[in-house]
Amino acid sequence: MNLRASVFIATSLDRFIARTDGKLDWLDAANATVPEGEDCGYHAFFESIDFLIMGRKTYEQVLSFGKWPYGTKPVIVLSRNKIAIPEQLAQTVSDSSESPKDLCERLSKVGAKRLYIDGGITIQRFLAEGMINDLTITVIPVILGSGIPLFGNLKKDITLKHLATKTYDFGFVQLSYEVVKD
Amino acid sequence: MNLRASVFIATSLDRFIARTDGKLDWLDAANATVPEGEDCGYHAFFESIDFLIMGRKTYEQVLSFGKWPYGTKPVIVLSRNKIAIPEQLAQTVSDSSESPKDLCERLSKVGAKRLYIDGGITIQRFLAEGMINDLTITVIPVILGSGIPLFGNLKKDITLKHLATKTYDFGFVQLSYEVVKD
């Protein structure tokens, strides 16, 4: 399958992606220290992907922010049940109850080369099913103590190859890894 | 108090310091890829500390390895109850049921400048009580999915200052942070 599934996410040093209630105040506070125009590679990454895959919770949180941040990029929301999609997003957002593997195979057949996998549960599902190819983790210089974890249980270890690490003057450290397939 | 308490530890990408049963096979496997003579700064760090503080579980695990790896460095084992100390270690190992704060104050008074805080529970206790000054975390390129976590619950966020990040050809990434005191 000529398709890569990629994670691109910020975490606290203790690997939380949000507080237990989903709040991102700590990330917003950290982002406020980032110089204007610096996006830690997000735009370039976003340009490189064909589809954004997220879970229902992440989707609903993004909707709650008001402005839809993904432009015309096709977004697939993973959900066991059908979800409500506002009319203005009907052209780009769809839902799916497929497994990570089935979804990747279907999107590969329509020519997708790279997927952006987002949201805690969704990332954990893709990792657990061996469907993630690379991870870019931006470490925010804070320890939260509790929250929604990036990683979850696995049936077996995932071996990684370190690709690159970038440090930023404002204290962020961005680690990139490729998953070593068995 | 003119004393620093430091963490120097290796973790998986998902921030485990050992498997749930304490096993370090994943770390041993990773260390087997490290070139002879490379210690990722451990010796220099160890030379810089006056006391090594660890919990009873870590102490017992180290004892079980057979050869005591800490030479003549004074080691204090934190334990609610008295522990058995083999005669050959009686000169360097002692136990204590002091709180992190009381221990730091006592050691500061006898001239200690830097402590090495080791073991999951002990590190978490020191962090939770605001008694850690800096952390050096060597990230091993593996995701374990479960294990003994480096970090635990906190009453409030710990803000960090990124000091340095070092990458190694064999895939380890070493992040160093200073705790920003309120």
The single-letter code of the amino acid at B61 is Q
- At B66, is the pLDDT very low, low, confident or very high (cuts 50, 70, 90)? confident
**Whole-number Å distance between alpha carbons of B58 and B102:** 21
Q: Which of A122, A109, A73, A113 shows the shortest CA–CA distance to A93?
A: A73
Task: Determine contact, residues B15/B149, Cβ cutoff 8 Å.
Answer: yes
Q: Which residues contact A175 (CB under 8 A, 6 or more apart)?
A: A135, A136, A137, A138, A139, A162, A165, B13, B139, B173
For residue A162, what is the nearest residue in chain B, using CA coordinates?
A: B171
**Whole-number Å distance between alpha carbons of B75 and B116:** 9
Per-residue model confidence (pLDDT) at position B17: 97
Contact across the interface for A162 and B141, Cβ inside 8 Å: yes
Q: Which residues contact A95 (CB under 8 A, 6 or more apart)?
A: A76, A77, A78, A79, A82, A83, A85
Q: Which of A119, A5, A154 shows the shortest CA–CA distance to B14?
A: A154
Per-residue model confidence (pLDDT) at position B65: 85
Q: Which of A11, A13, A123 to mutate to test the interface with B (most CBs of B within 10 A)?
A: A13
Task: Using the predicted structure, report yes or no on whether residue B48 has a pLDDT greater than 80.
Answer: yes
For residue B171, what is the nearest residue in chain A, using CA coordinates?
A: A162
Contact across the interface for A143 and B162, Cβ inside 8 Å: no
Per-residue model confidence (pLDDT) at position B76: 98
Full-model pTM? 0.96
Burial (CB count within 10 angstroms: exposed 0-12, middle 13-18, buried 19+), residue B65: exposed
Average pLDDT over residues B41-56: 97
Contacts of B145 in chain A (CB under 8 A): 128, 151-158
pLDDT tens for residues A67-117? 999 999 999 999 999 999 999 999 999 999 999 999 999 999 999 999 999
Strands B134-140 and B4-12: parallel
CA B39 to chain A, closest CA, distance in angstroms equals 18
Per-residue model confidence (pLDDT) at position A66: 87
Beta-bridge partner residues of B10: B138
The values of phi and psi at residue B152, to 5°, are -135, -170
For residue A128, what is the nearest residue in chain B, using CA coordinates?
A: B145
Task: Determine contact, residues B144/B12, Cβ cutoff 8 Å.
Answer: yes
Per-residue model confidence (pLDDT) at position B11: 98
Contacts of A175 in chain B (CB under 8 A): 13, 139, 173
Average pLDDT over residues A12-41: 96
- At A43, is the pLDDT very low, low, confident or very high (cuts 50, 70, 90)? very high
Query: Which domains are delineated in chain B?
Result: 4-179 (3.40.430.10)
Average pLDDT over residues B152-170: 97
Phi-psi region at B39: left, alpha or beta (left = phi > 0; alpha = psi -120 to 50): alpha
Is residue B130 helix, strand or coil? coil
Contact across the interface for B161 and A171, Cβ inside 8 Å: yes
For residue B137, what is the nearest residue in chain A, using CA coordinates?
A: A13
Contact across the interface for B173 and A171, Cβ inside 8 Å: no
How many CB atoms lie under 10 A from the CB of residue A69? 9
The DSSP annotation for B16-45 comes to: EEE-TT---HHHHHHHTTSPTT--TTHHHH
pLDDT tens for residues B77-119? 999 999 999 999 999 999 999 999 999 999 999 999 999 999 9
**Whole-number Å distance between alpha carbons of B125 and B79:** 12
Average pLDDT over residues B117-124: 96
pLDDT tens for residues A110-169? 999 999 999 999 999 999 999 999 999 999 999 999 999 999 999 999 999 999 999 999
* Residue that the structure tokens 């987002």 belong to: A118
The DSSP annotation for A19-75 comes to: -TT---HHHHHHHTTSPTT--TTHHHHHHH-SEEEEEHHHHHHHHHTSS-TTTT--E
Task: Using the predicted structure, report yes or no on whether residue A182 has a pLDDT greater than 80.
Answer: no
Q: Which residues contact B159 (CB under 8 A, 6 or more apart)?
A: A141, A142, B179, B180
